[in-house]
Structures are given as structure tokens and as C-alpha cells.
Chain A
């Protein structure tokens, strides 16, 4: 090893605290990169493999009822590779020990116990055998959550018929990676499950002999999906087809896509913040190093070392930091990635999980770390290279201080001499002071931007569960009923109010934009539900025309007053133009609302009731739930409170874990920035601090000079951080929004305060460790030496 490299190693060791502090920040960049890229790729690859292995369909269609022979006609469409018809039927399960009905979606499998598309990954047991009508396979997550498995059985109410289902196996399917009950916000594996049952048995149970109500197909490579969908719709029209749709509208796929998009957004926002701070830190540390090593640089040049060799020497310093950071970051990224993938695996139902980390992810992370460090090193390298040997060997001229704006401010404020020292030093090194302020403020910003997701979810919770919903129970029916059913519900003792709802599937178009959705009925007199705008105000339902959610309005590029083309899917397939009477800025979904009368003009028939909202006397809850369970028309009952608890539970589990790591990461920035600033400040001021000690200043007073400057910069960073945080949070909230739901941006004041407190806390703790060096300050040695 040559002498210069030996010097490098010793320098790294001597400055190990600072090197480590920078490496930590840079490691946070590589860790978050490896983490989010790793998880993103793992989930994407897992999904792709699962889709390929289990023939996930490309196009899906629901219809009321069609003869099985229709599948052959669909298969004949050009571009269709495979088509399969099946029955999908919601059913109610009766667990004797539970009041609340549990819902199931039962899918049919063919006489051999198979499906060709969306094939089941059998986890345990076997598929139903022909001729054994009671045999079913249950989705694994539901089975686990409810203590079911091969050998156990459940009572079900299918299409009005009570029937015992014997579980012979558990499985998973690619069309239900994300399984959510209609009307719910998040999966509840205890109250909603997917079942598979033999075709004949399900035909018999649902009175659909040789008939289907669900169609799935895969396409030939290169086939135009839109064309196929159009032809499928034509075929299915007489059978109550509600319009075929592609993967992007398939529920499970869309949800997973949404989460993958969020992960991808994380990769693009979080690591760059850490990279930026690391660049700044390398810049100031290396700059200081070159300044203190002026004479050494001059000497080396005098000995004949080339500028290139010297530049390279300092570059290697940055390189070493990048390598250290890459190693630490990769290790942390792998570890965290495993943990996070496990969380996703729990949430999503995959039969297997690739946790793949290809070398190129590490190469990219390392490349980013190196790039950031090298960029930061440029300044120091350039001044080392440009130093002329003769100039370098003369000690640097004393720093020149001059009056300025800051100065006049200080005079007017009547600063003490110590106050002047602090303020002038900040003004003398504006870039470094700015780096400290920006670094600390970015730490605060990142912290705030992640912490405010808690506020987002809370705002969503509040709006969705308290303001938009006022019912105690929502009851869904096995099929659309007439209004008599509401009367029946009202008869149950303890039921205070009943409001029926109905939704008609439609295709809305405006210009070239087309969206599939459902228009939900919304009575202007409704008291159990409300449409809440972004600012929290309630928007009244207009008497005529449609009310669209902001999301849907954006997708259709319409504003209030515009007209949209409405095409009913299924039913009479009415087509008409309707005005958009109001737009409501809701968080969840692309939704449309209309009064029952307006819906009647679309369907040209008296609208039925698909579900009902109930407000009840809380003391009679149990009796009411039992009464509902007895009603054959009731498919499911959702309790608002239970749904809310479940939502909170999911948030607590997932967001809190994430939050913990981001608090850790963001604190790493504060620690890294403050530690390096403090160390540089200390080394620059050691002479002055020692002088003050000699002059009779106490350690605490001397500490004030050191910490006062840092404190000023850190405090200045708080408002800056809040502003950047606000902006970053807004950007991240926007990036996290999708067709499915939009995150409300609703930061609480307390969140600013918490973020500031955490940052100030880590800054204080870090500064205190450096300030302890004042105790070891050797007054004599410092003063004997020329600065």
C-alpha cells in the first residue's frame, strides 16, 4: 500500500465519527432504495409468475344469466385464446356462535374440479369431486381466520336455500389476491371468504342449470382488448351483461396495482432526499478537510505528486464512504425488505412469494451512493487540485470578517460579544450554514411527510366512518328487492330508521373518455349517509342530474354543468345525456350519485333496493342481528363500528411499522447533519474556544458559543422544514392517489410539532455528544500553536 493510501486509511479512522454519520445518511438512501425496489420487484414478479402459472384472465364479464353454450360463441371471437363460463354467487354463512352473518362468494369449478382460467392453487386437501354436492374448497386466508380446514363444515344460505358445505380443501386464486366484500373498504378475512364449489352443485343450488353468470377469457398475444370487449358485450347484451372489463378494472388486480404504484412512488421520493443530504455532507466535510490539510497538500505537490493523484486521494475518501454506506444500506435494505414483503404477503393472498433481489438493484443503489458522494467531493477535490504548492505551504490568511446586513442587525439588537461571534461565524460560512439548515429541514420534512400519512388515514376514517356514514348497520340483500323489504326491516324491534340504496351499473362517457361505474341512489332526504366534500362540508344531493366524485370528474374531464353520456349496462341498456349537477371531492373511488327518481329515468323502471342502511337502538343490537340473520333475503350485515375498528387495526399494523423506520431514517439525517456541522464547527473554533476558557469563561459559557450557532441554525431549519414538509407531503399524497382512492391531505398542527420535536431532540442529543469535547479541550496546547 502506498503512503498516500495509508494516509487515507488513517484519515478515515481519525474522522470515523463523521464518516460514519455521513455513511448512515447515505445508507438510508441505499436501504430505502433496495427496500422499496426489492419489495416492488418481488411483488411484481410474484404476481406475474402467479398470473402466468394460474392463467389469470385478461377480460372479465358479469351477466344475469346465459346458457353455457354462449361460451363457445365468445371463444370464437378473434383474438380470444380461451374462454370459460362459471357461476359466481354470494351466500351467507351461519356460524352458530356469531350474530353477524358472514359472507362468501362461491365460484363454480368444472365437473373435474378444475377451472382453466384463474386456476386454484390448492394449499391443502383436494378439489370437490363430481357428484358430491356439498364439497367445497375455501380460500386459505378465510379458513385460517375462522379455524376452518378440510374436514370441517359450515352452514350456508345459498340463493335462499340452507345447505351444509363440507370443506375438502383450501386454496388461493389469482383473481382474489385481494379479496374484499362489496361495500367494504379493506379486506376482513373473518367476515368474507371465497369458496369454490362443483359446477353441478352450484347450478342446482342457484337454479341455473346449464347456465352461467360470469365469464372470463384470455387473449391471444397482440389481440386488441377493446375490440374483444366490444364483441363480448354484443354477445352478452341479451343476457344482462353489465359490460366486459379488462384487468385494470378487475378489483383484486387494481388494488394490487395501486399498492405497487405507491411503492414505486416511494422509490422515487424518499431515496433522493437522503442522497441530496449526503452530497451536502460530503461537500462540507471534504471542504474542511482540504482546508486543514493545505500545508500537507502543498508539501505533497512540492514532493512531486501530481494534482491528479491528490484529487484522486480525496475522491477515494468519498468512495470509501459510499462503499461503507452501500454495504450498510444493502444489509438494512435486505432485512427490512424481507420484513415488508412478509407484511404484504399477509395482506395479499399469494400461494408463494419470490423475495428476489437481483444484483442490479444493489449495483444501482451502490451507483447512486457513489454518485452522491462523488458529487459532494467535487468541491473539495477542485480546491485541492487548484492549490499551488507555494501558496499551500503558507498558513491560510485569517478569515476576514466584515460588516453586513447581519452585522447591522446584531448592532441594533445589542448583541453581546459572544452573540456577535455566533452570528458573524454563520455569515462568514454561508454555504455551510445553509447546508446545515437545509439538511436539518429535509430531515424534518421527510419526517413530517411520512407522519402526516397518519393524519391522512385519520381524516379518511373520520370522513368515511363518521361523516359520510351515519348508519349503525348496512344490510345487503341476496338480490335486488322491491321496497317491501324496507318495511320488513322497519318491523324489527329496535330498528329506528331504514334507508334503501340501489346502484345501476353504467358506462359514462364524455368526449373520448369512457368510465365504467355504477350510479348509486342517493335520496336528497337521506339521513344515514352523506356526501362529504374535501373541506369537510356536506354537499346536498341535487334534485336532478348526476353528482360525480372529483376522481370520476377528473377521469372524464368534466366539471359541474357539463353533460355526460350515460349508457346503462344490463337492464334496458338505456342511453341518454345527463347534466353533471354537482361534484363532490371524495376520497374513495370514482363514484356517481343520483336521486332515485333520476335513476328511474335511466332504468325506465321502478328502482329496487339492493341494500339498506339502518340506525338502531344500541341496546337491542344483538336481537336485531339475530333477526337479520334469520331473514333469507339478507346476504350480509356490516357494522360500521366493526369496519372502523378493522380499518384502524390495519393502519396501526402497517403504517406504524413503516413510520417507525422512517422516523429512524429521518433522524439519521438530523444526526448526520448536526454531528458533522458540530464537529467541523468544533475543529474550526477549538482555538477560539480555548482562548475563551483561558480568559475565564466557564465551560457552559464556552459551550454556548458552539451550541448557540448550531441551535440558531437548527431552529431556523424548523420553519423551513415545515414548508418543505408541507410541499413534500402534498406531492407524496398526490403520488399515492389512484383511481381507487385518494389520500386526503389533512396535516394536523400537532404533526408539525412532533416532527420538529423529534428532529430537535436528535439534534440536541447529537450536539451534546460533540459539546462534551469542550471538557477535554487542552487550553495550553491549542494556544501554543499558531492557528
Chain B
């Protein structure tokens, strides 16, 4: 680490999440302490059910922890009401999911506009699409786009509001390697050019090579943190 300590984007202590279904309790997170720095690329790696998605959802305010503290740039997220959590998502978070989640009745550009309409200092939707290399296909509906193109629209939609953080849950899970790389390149570019913090869940250990840090999950806990001195360009990732 340099002498100048980078700002903490997220800091969390003792995060626990227990899902109760009927009489069984599922402990999804068993006390996680978290520190994610502003502007870094963090990959969450680990087997299914190890707590990666739960953490990502809590960080993205889609879910609340059963126990523990979580701060975003010093603001507590735990205990916020529903409306403030929504506002936090609206202003700070860009989501990318495995299954794109585009609105089928809106064109690529309109899907991006959906977000820029409500953001404070958004990009021009066209520019966001240019950034993911889809400027030409702005007027196409999702059904007229390939899977990779749809995911890039989702990325454009996520970055168009210039979010502080991008949360990606298996963004390449449904894509072939070539398309996957293109998506990852866009994410890296957003990180590089906009300074966006990127937190990315993957099953693909190869992708970890592009991260500044890798958090290894096991049984609802962070088992190990791996620092990567020389993150590689997504293009060099061996799939």
C-alpha cells in the first residue's frame, strides 16, 4: 500500500445474515468484516452458497443484514429506511446480473435512459452505449440483440449514471468467452476512466486475475484475502 491510504468505499463489521424458512435457519453470512477501497476492482470467489451473493445484495441494499454494521463512505447503511435505501441505490449503485434484466419493451437506448432519467449527473445514454461499443444498436429491442449485446446494454445502463460502485453478480455466467471478455473489458474501462469501484462475483477463477484484490468465501465467511499486485487486462484472461 502507498503511504496515502485510499478512501474506504465500504467498511463492514460482524455482518451476519440468517434466513428463516419455516423451522430451518440458514446462516448465509457468519460474521464478515469488510473493507473495500474506493476505485478498486474486487472479485468475490467461492463455491455456491458460500455467501458471496448475500454480501453483494447487502452491499447493494437489496437486502439487509441480520446483524452487523456497514458503511458506505462513512454513511451507515444498516438501519436506513426503505426510501433512503432506494435513494442510495439510485444515486450510487450500478447493478449487473447474470440474466441481464433488461426491460423487453424498451430499446437499448431507452433501457439506459430509464436510469439516466432519474440520475443526478448522468452520461448521455448514447455515450454510455458507445462506451460498450453498441452505439449502432441503440434503437434495437432486447429481443433483437444477442446475449452478449444484451449484457453490454446492461453494463451501459449500470455505468450511465456514473455510479460510485458497480456490483456484478456473475456478469459473464451466461456468455461465451469472447463475449465475456468484451463485457469485462467494459467494466475495466469504467473502473479506469470513471474511477468506479467494481465488486464482481464469479465462479471463474481466471477472472480473478483482473482484480486488485480477491476475497475468497467459504461457509459464509471470508476465508482469505488475496492481493494482486499486477492486475491483468481482461483481454489476457485465460477462460
B104 to chain A, nearest CB (A): 5
Judging by beta carbons under 8 Å apart, are B99 and A786 in contact?
Answer: yes
**With A397-B143, A399-B143 as given contacts, are A417 and B114 in contact (CB-CB < 8 Å)?**
yes
25 pairs of residues in contact across A and B, judged by CB atoms under 8 Å: A399-B105, A399-B143, A400-B143, A402-B141, A417-B111, A417-B114, A418-B114, A420-B106, A420-B110, A421-B103, A421-B106, A424-B105, A424-B106, A428-B105, A688-B104, A694-B101, A696-B86, A696-B91, A696-B118, A698-B86, A779-B62, A780-B63, A783-B97, A783-B101, A784-B53
A425 within 8 A of B: yes
A147 within 8 A of B: no
A295 to chain B, nearest CB (A): 16
Residues of A within 8 A of B91 (CB): 696
Judging by beta carbons under 8 Å apart, are B62 and A694 in contact?
Answer: yes
A432 within 8 A of B: no
Best-surrounded residue of B111, B117, B141 (most CB of chain A within 10 A): B141
Judging by beta carbons under 8 Å apart, are A401 and B104 in contact?
Answer: yes
* Other contacts beyond A417-B110, A695-B90: 12, CB < 8 A: A397-B143, A399-B143, A401-B141, A418-B117, A424-B106, A694-B62, A695-B95, A696-B89, A696-B90, A696-B115, A699-B86, A783-B97
Pick the contact of A697: B53, B86, B113, B157 (CB < 8 A): B86
**With A398-B142, A398-B143, A780-B63 as given contacts, are A695 and B105 in contact (CB-CB < 8 Å)?**
no
Residues of A within 8 A of B93 (CB): 696
A692 within 8 A of B: yes
Pick the contact of A401: B101, B105, B117 (CB < 8 A): B105
Residues of B within 8 A of A787 (CB): 99
Contact with A along B11-50 (1 / 0, CB 8 A): 0000000000000000000000000000000000000000
Chain B: residues with Cβ within 8 Å of the partner, total of 32
Instruction: Tell me the residues in window 156-215 of chain A with beta carbons closer than 8 Å to chain B beta carbons.
Output: none
Instruction: Tell me the residues in window 71-99 of chain B with beta carbons closer than 8 Å to chain A beta carbons.
Output: 82-83, 86-87, 89-91, 93, 95, 97, 99
Residues of A within 8 A of B110 (CB): 417, 420
Pick the contact of B105: A425, A694, A699, A786 (CB < 8 A): A425
> In the assembly, what is the distance between CA of A416 and CA of B91, in Å?
19
B57 within 8 A of A: yes
A41 to chain B, nearest CB (A): 53
Residues of B within 8 A of A785 (CB): 99
**With A694-B95, A695-B114, A697-B118 as given contacts, are A400 and B62 in contact (CB-CB < 8 Å)?**
no
A619 to chain B, nearest CB (A): 71
Instruction: Tell me the residues in window 255-300 of chain A with beta carbons closer than 8 Å to chain B beta carbons.
Output: none
Pick the contact of A417: B62, B95, B117 (CB < 8 A): B117
> In the assembly, what is the distance between CA of A784 and CA of B157, in Å?
18
A691 within 8 A of B: yes
**With A400-B141, A696-B93 as given contacts, are A780 and B103 in contact (CB-CB < 8 Å)?**
no
Residues of B within 8 A of A591 (CB): none
A401 to chain B, nearest CB (A): 5
Judging by beta carbons under 8 Å apart, are A401 and B143 in contact?
Answer: yes
Residues of B within 8 A of A784 (CB): 53, 97
A605 to chain B, nearest CB (A): 86
A301 within 8 A of B: no
A82 within 8 A of B: no
**10 interchain residue pairs of minimum CB distance:** A696-B90, A424-B105, A696-B89, A417-B114, A691-B101, A398-B143, A400-B143, A417-B113, A417-B110, A401-B105
Judging by beta carbons under 8 Å apart, are B86 and A687 in contact?
Answer: no
Judging by beta carbons under 8 Å apart, are A693 and B104 in contact?
Answer: no
Best-surrounded residue of B95, B103, B115, B157 (most CB of chain A within 10 A): B103
Residues of B within 8 A of A428 (CB): 105
Pick the contact of B115: A424, A687, A688, A695 (CB < 8 A): A695
B114 to chain A, nearest CB (A): 4
Contact with B along A772-787 (1 / 0, CB 8 A): 0000000110011111
A687 to chain B, nearest CB (A): 7
Residues of A within 8 A of B82 (CB): 699
Residues of B within 8 A of A418 (CB): 114, 117
Judging by beta carbons under 8 Å apart, are B101 and A687 in contact?
Answer: yes
Residues of B within 8 A of A417 (CB): 103, 106, 110-111, 113-114, 117
> In the assembly, what is the distance between CA of A696 and CA of B89, in Å?
5
